[in-house]
Amino acid sequence: MDRIRIRGGRPLSGEIKVGGAKNAALPLMAAGLLTDQRLTLSNVPQLADVRTMTLLLAQHGIAVDPVTEDGRALSLGGAITGTEAPYDIVRKMRASFLVLGPLLARVGEARVSLPGGCGIGARPIDLHLKGLEQLGARIVLEGGYIDARVRGRLKGATIVFPFVSVGATENLMMAASLAEGRTVLANAAREPEIGDLAAGLVAMGARIEGIGSDTLTIEGVERLGGAEHAIIPDRIETGSYACAAAISGGSVFLRGARLDHLGATVRILREAGVDIDEQAEGLMVRRLNGLHGADVMTEPYPGFPTDMQAQFMALMAVAEGASMVTETIFENRFMHVPELNRMGARINVHGASAIVRGVGGLSGAPVMATDLRASLSLILAGLAAQGDTIVSRVYHLDRGYEAVECKLAACGADIERVAG
């Protein structure tokens, strides 16, 4: 299994191109199931999760063909020949569950494996199922699979989510696009990736109002057509490399990054002493002076994202003073803490909060990546640490960060992937 070796202590300097957003690409690929015409997506990141979604769509009869040499533009199309999303694929990537709504809306049936638990908590799918039932689906759980059916078309309904869910909002928005009549999704997620999916659906002919707000109104149409859509830049990749520039004491230009998608991330980073300057083609991120502790609480967008929590904690580990990091979205998302502590961080977890007492420096150590964002937090710690850090289990990293070692090495980091 590959590992990443980092020798810390070098300030980054240079430019990193921010890729397309993983969490927009995956639902937009699932949207390919909603039409019999071709959906062409550009600015698609080259990630293990995108390859997993490609495999899953192939199970349903949808081919995903590269249309450019670099593989960043994909054309999706084909007739739906299968409606089962098997356990072997769904267990690898929870976002596989996003095929449920589109399959049901398009062909009236779907059999999708339950995702099961994952590293960061139980992550139920009850909101997806309840919402689809409200649209008229009959759902039974059988042998670890959700079996969903509808006679005729789904029917529009008003769905009020009891709390914000990105995935449930996406699944229901896609299903409602082909339902009969009007669907209102209240207390919907407002993440930029939801807006991007909505924009893609609108390009395909969907009628969606309220994009960017917490109430989406969808007038179902009988069929959706093909479209071309460019995926937004990845705001989590942006935030992660902003932390890399800051923790190394360097300066990096993040080409293609969008400040308006960063929500609370930019405010909190600035509060911690990171200089972020919006320019015509991206963001210039620098650490001019010392870092100081800042408290954060994860929240749905535009609040501070749970997907930035681990990376921010690495940054706070070397800031002056104390910070309190509170995780409100997932119940078990502090697995990076013991690993950071092995590198000399002083972090104590009390329930859903972690107290981070900044230390003068970290020291390199062998550490283990436990999930996607935790992996990046260990790489960040490695950039700041004295000596060598070896991060193992980097398959987590490859799910959501493209060529991280190449991007950081191009800015002067001493980092390499060690095969085996």
Q: Using the rule CB under 6 A, which residue among 6, 12, 127, 245 binds ligand UD1?
A: 127
Q: Which of residues 139-168 bind ligand UD1 (CB under 6 A)?
A: 165-168
Binders of ligand UD1 among residues 93 to 122 (CB under 6 A) are 94-95
The answer for residues whose C-beta is within 8 angstroms of residue 70's C-beta and 6 or more apart is none
Please say if 406 is a catalytic residue: no
With contact defined as beta carbons under 8 Å apart, do 179 and 150 qualify?
A: no
259: left (phi over 0), alpha (psi -120 to 50) or beta: alpha
Contact set for ligand UD1, span 4-43 (CB under 6 A): 23, 26
Judged by CB under 6 A, does residue 190 bind ligand UD1?
Answer: no
Q: Smaller CB distance to ligand UD1: residue 138 or 223?
A: 138
Closest CB to ligand UD1 among 3 and 261?
A: 261
With contacts defined by CB under 6 A, name the span among 76-84, 264-272, 300-308, 348-356 that binds ligand UD1.
300-308
Q: Is 44 in the site for ligand UD1 (CB under 6 A)?
A: no
Burial of 126 (0-12, 13-18, 19+ CB in 10 A): exposed
Q: Interface residues for ligand UD1 in 308-337 (CB under 6 A)?
A: 329-330
Strand partners, 417: 4
Site string for ligand UD1, 58-97 (x = CB under 6 A): ------------------------------------xx--
Determine phi and psi for 8, rounding to 5 degrees. Answer: -80, 180
In the three-class reduction of DSSP (H, G, I as helix; E, B as strand; rest coil), residue 255 is classed as strand
CB 215, min distance to ligand UD1, A: 17
Is the Cα torsion angle 76, 79, 80, 81 positive or negative in sign? negative
Between 27 and 344, whose beta carbon lies closer to ligand UD1?
27
Q: How far apart are CA 74 and CA 356, in angstroms?
A: 43
Residue 214 CB-density burial (10 A; 0-12 exposed, 13-18 middle, 19+ buried): middle
State in angstroms the smallest separation of the CB of 353 from ligand UD1: 16
Query: What are the catalytic residues?
Result: 118
Residue ranges that bind ligand UD1, judged by CB under 6 A: 23, 26, 94-95, 123-128, 165-168, 193, 305-307, 329-330
